[in-house]
């Protein structure tokens, strides 16, 4: 016996009417009887498609301002009846119930309404769909005999099956049923989150339900033998990589996405035009300036050797002047993320340099909305959840703890260095000068090793710079190394039992030290 179920009767009731006219027209051309409700029925009739009002079929009018429309035995009996069960078929025949072979339903826009600024509670509650999820669940339960569509992306498959086979086969119905239950589960989760007053982006409820939707499969993961894919969180509305539009370049890799995310987070926190240069998920250069092109030049100069094959982030539209900096000889860029790209900049980046065919350009839109305030990190057996380390720094709460005062000219560099060090893997040390990152020591087991690496990277430029440390100095040895390199001021959280020794070392070497009282570990 064939598992193809002909489509003779369908119910169409949709909130999102994209593509519905084409689907209904295809169904009618195939001789399918269409039952519909309210706005959907009017929309189809205006397009010249013959439909039958559900109320006429059930003999029961819509009521309660449309809250009650499809919840009727003549509807649900036709959906739930098992076609291969003689008792079921005898029962629906006795009560003049037509078997319903296709349900096309998408749900009231609850999530969009709840997210709309100024929406009242009554408006939001009215978008809790009752009949729609009931229709979808009933059809999905009886997918052995009934097909269900919850998205316009599925309409093409339905019409193709109708044309080629005269109906739907079990493989298609099973897939549609799976997608239907995913759809209603996510819908109900959004309602539950709203009614509980808890947002997964802000709070720590007793239970969290994470929903991610696959955006793409990747060529491989961190290494070629690892499979990989990227999934998006549909609740995140701020600018982000998963929702970005790639306007040029080859396919993104797993490592590209990690580095682009790091690049974006650095520039997101800076108010002046800024650029970041990322290599292996750590910044090897970053700078701010009054013009983006200048910030770009300064950032690339932070560590020119490491900048080769790097990923860049910008917090302003990439203009032609910035693109010209990026096209200078000897530079190779893997990917660039920015709010927007000028057309002239895109033309130059994709035509002039030798790497023109490879560079990935990603637009994420405006960065003026705050980033998500919750971070999640998966570990074996579960997930760690924490507040993001994105609180704005408050220089007025910083304390100069040395006898040596900070020269006025260095305060901006201290603020810039303190902003940068939160983005570097611990133990983290950065050297900054003229609002530019000139040396980075990242991910070392010893803080003094990180200091040495940062000073080595900066070279002669270390003279006159500032040093920022993500956590306290456990010993005074790093202070001597900083003084020997010509560093003039240090910013760190403080909190060590040897703080007095470290402060005394600064005073002996003529260094100024500021303590912030806030640590920036990044593991």
Nearest 5°: phi and psi at 465?
-90, 180
Find residue 384's DSSP bridge partners: 377
Query: Across the beta sheet with 310-314, what order do the strands follow?
Result: 245-248, 360-363, 333-338, 310-314, 274-279, 282-288
* Candidate list 17, 88, 250, 280, residue with the active-site label: 280
The CA distance from 16 to 498, in Å, is 64
* Residue 192 parent element (H or E): helix 170-196
Let me know: does 508 contact 486? Beta carbons within 8 Å. Answer: no
Longest distance between any two alpha carbons in the chain, whole Å? 100
Find residue 309's DSSP bridge partners: none
The CA distance from 323 to 345, in Å, is 5
* Candidate list 17, 88, 141, 291, residue with the active-site label: 141
User: 488: Cβ–Cβ under 8 A, 6 or more apart, which residues?
Assistant: 407, 410, 464, 465, 466, 511, 512
Residue with tokens 């909305």: 369
Q: Is 280 annotated as catalytic?
A: yes
3-state secondary structure 233-284: CCCCCCCCCCCCEEEECCCCCHHHHHHHHHHHHHHHCCCCCEEEEEECCEEE
Residue with tokens 């240090």: 490
**Token output for 20:** 């519905």
Q: Is 141 annotated as catalytic?
A: yes
DSSP letter for each residue of 294-330 = HHHHHHHHTSHHHHTTEEEEESS-B-HHHHHHHTSTT
370-395 per-residue burial string, b: 16 or more CB within 10 A, e: under 16: ebbeeeeeeeeeeeeeeeeeeeebee
Q: What is the dihedral of CA 323, 328, 334, 339, to 10 degrees?
A: -20
Let me know: does 23 contact 158? Beta carbons within 8 Å. Answer: yes
Catalytically annotated residues: 141, 280
């Amino acid at each position: 016996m064939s598992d193809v179920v002909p489509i003779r009767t369908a119910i169409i009731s949709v909130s999102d009417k994209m593509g519905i006219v084409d689907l209904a027209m295809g169904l009618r051309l195939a001789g399918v009887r269409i039952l519909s409700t309210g706005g959907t029925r009017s929309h189809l009739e205006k397009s010249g498609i013959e439909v039958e009002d559900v109320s006429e079929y059930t003999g029961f009018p819509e009521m309660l301002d449309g809250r009650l429309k499809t919840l009727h035995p003549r509807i649900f009996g036709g959906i739930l009846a098992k076609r291969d069960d003689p008792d079921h078929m005898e029962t629906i025949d006795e009560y003049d119930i037509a078997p319903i072979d296709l349900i096309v339903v998408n749900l009231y826009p609850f999530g969009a309404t709840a997210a709309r600024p100024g929406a009242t509670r009554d408006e939001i509650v009215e978008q809790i769909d009752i009949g729609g999820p009931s229709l979808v669940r009933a059809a999905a339960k009886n997918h052995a005999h009934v097909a269900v569509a919850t998205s316009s992306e599925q309409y093409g498959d339905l019409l193709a099956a109708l044309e080629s086979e005269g109906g739907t086969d079990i493989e298609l119905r099973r897939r549609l049923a799976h997608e239907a239950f995913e759809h209603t589960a996510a819908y109900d989760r959004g309602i539950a989150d709203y009614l509980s007053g808890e947002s997964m982006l802000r709070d720590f409820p007793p239970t969290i339900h994470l929903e991610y939707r696959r955006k793409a499969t990747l060529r491989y993961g961190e290494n070629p033998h690892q499979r990989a894919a990227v999934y998006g969180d549909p609740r995140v509305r701020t600018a982000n990589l998963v929702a970005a539009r790639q306007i040029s370049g080859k396919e993104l890799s797993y490592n590209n996405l990690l580095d682009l995310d790091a690049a974006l987070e650095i520039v997101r926190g800076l108010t002046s035009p800024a650029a970041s240069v990322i290599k292996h998920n750590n910044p090897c250069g970053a700078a701010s300036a009054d013009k983006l092109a200048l910030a770009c030049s300064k950032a690339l100069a932070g560590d020119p050797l490491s900048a080769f094959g790097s990923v860049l982030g910008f917090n302003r539209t990439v203009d032609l002047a910035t693109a010209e900096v990026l096209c200078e000889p000897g530079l190779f860029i893997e990917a660039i993320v920015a709010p927007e790209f000028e057309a002239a900049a895109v033309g130059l980046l994709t035509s002039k340099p030798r790497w023109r065919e490879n560079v990935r350009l990603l637009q994420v839109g405006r960065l003026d909305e705050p980033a998500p305030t919750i971070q999640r990190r998966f570990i074996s057996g579960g997930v760690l959840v924490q507040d993001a380390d994105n609180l704005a720094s408050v220089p007025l709460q910083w304390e100069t703890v040395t006898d040596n005062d900070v020269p006025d000219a260095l305060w901006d560099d201290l603020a810039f260095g303190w902003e940068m060090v939160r983005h570097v893997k611990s133990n983290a040390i950065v050297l900054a000068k003229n609002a530019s990152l000139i040396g980075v020591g990242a991910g070392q087991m010893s803080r003094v090793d990180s200091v040495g690496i940062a000073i080595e990277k900066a070279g002669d430029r270390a003279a006159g710079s500032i040093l920022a440390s993500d956590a306290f100095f456990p010993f005074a040895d790093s202070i001597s190394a900083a003084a020997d390199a010509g560093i003039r001021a240090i910013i760190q959280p403080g909190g060590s039992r040897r703080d007095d020794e470290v402060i005394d070392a600064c005073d002996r070497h003529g260094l100024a030290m500021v303590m912030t009282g806030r640590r920036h570990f990044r593991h």
